[in-house]
Amino acid sequence: MKKVLMGFIINGKSGGLDQYILNFLESVKDEDASIDLMTNQIDKGLEERLSRQGVRLLEVPRLRHPLRQYKRVCEIVREGDYDTAYLNISTAIDCIAALAAKKCKVKKRVLHSHAAGNDCENRLNRAVLDIIHRICRTFLYRTGTDFYGASRKAGLWMFPEKIVDSRKFNVILSAVDKERYEFDRKMRQEVREELGLEDHFVTGHIGNFCPVKNYGFLLKIFTEIRKREKSAHLLLVGDGPICESVKRQVQEEGLTEYVTFTGWRTDTDRLVQAMDVFLLPSLFEGLSMVSLEAQCSRLPCVVSDTVPEEVGITDACDHISLKVDAAGWAEAVLKYRGRGREEVRFLPARYPYDRKEQREQLKNIL
């Protein structure tokens, strides 16, 4: 039986990286492998869920205590005698576990990049983190034997171009249960009735409320949409550190009547049915799993040009520059008024993104 050490998960519901890890575990559950998963703080609900799959959740110190984290990962590796260390990371600053795995001579060390920037609201802090990332990036790749990215852009953020252009690197789009998100007209009607949106043009957004999602600009776009379409309504799904400040901004701009906050939801497959257009003006994305999910329901998407091109799996996914003003973005959204979901066409896939198609690729990581 292969012994695999994975990291890092938060609580099983904190954005795309957590979701990717859970999808990975589901995809390889029938493999002859024993998997231990590292986290910075044990979430009891997640621990119980993983234990039913035979996965152990192991707590290690946070990155702000690098020496303590290094020592703990070394202890875990020596005790576990792992064949593979599979480390899912967002910045090169997350290099400590990789250094420990190399030091302890884990034979296969897989590094998987899931981001394309530092998500930090404070500009000064972000500048400091970017400098540290660039320093760590110069040696991180030397700790790995196999390299993956949520997109080519995510790969270039984490690894030198010579690695990304080599056979050692592969792109793995975050897997989507395509059947779960298929368009369902009856469900669309039911959800719109539940939310009181039957006669509205619904612009939707799903995400972790954090600075990278660019909520200030998103609200400016919606204001411009309202000027041109009086039935417009904004559906915001998710939660996060800046959620309350976004709510205050909505109130200050007099948009309360036209914006619905759902909070964190597990039924995003139902909520995308109710939308008319999905909007994502992110400052950067490693990929954007939620955009793939939205397109699986044939929902038109308007996303920033910082979102990797791999996201475009239908003919109704527009990448718009963040240099374009809010009015230009509004026009890009409103061009989809009246377009039926049945009219949206899937493009030939460059990479497997359906969970069934991708299962073998994920198994190869082990």
Instruction: Determine, yes or no, domain membership for 303.
Output: yes
* Number of C-beta neighbours around residue 102 at 10 A: 16
Q: Is the pTM of the predicted complex or chain greater than 0.85?
A: no
Q: How many domains are contained in the chain?
A: 2
Which pairing describes strands 277-280 and 201-206: parallel, antiparallel, or unpaired?
parallel
3-class DSSP assignment, residue 258: helix
Res 300 pLDDT > 90: yes
pLDDT at 1: 86
- For residue range 185-208, what is the model confidence (pLDDT) as tens digits? 999 999 999 999 999 999 999 998
pLDDT at 14: 66
pLDDT at 361: 83
Residues 6 and 93 in one domain: yes
| Cis ω for the linkage preceding 8 (within 30 of 0) | yes
Which pairing describes strands 33-39 and 56-59: parallel, antiparallel, or unpaired?
parallel
Residues 121 and 71 in one domain: yes
- For residue range 108-137, what is the model confidence (pLDDT) as tens digits? 999 999 988 887 767 788 889 999 999 999
Which of these ranges, 3-17, 190-204, 230-244, 247-261, has the smallest mean pLDDT?
A: 3-17
Residues 142 and 218 in one domain: no
- For residue range 144-180, what is the model confidence (pLDDT) as tens digits? 999 999 889 999 999 999 999 999 999 988 778 889 9
Residues 61 and 209 in one domain: no
pLDDT band, residue 12 (cuts 50/70/90): confident
CA distance 220 to 250: 10
Domain that holds residue 223: 178-343
Residues 42 and 91 in one domain: yes
CATH code, 107: 3.40.50.2000
Give the gyration radius of the chain's Cα atoms: 21
pLDDT at 243: 95
Residues 185 and 331 in one domain: yes
CA distance 359 to 356: 6
Instruction: Determine, yes or no, domain membership for 348.
Output: no
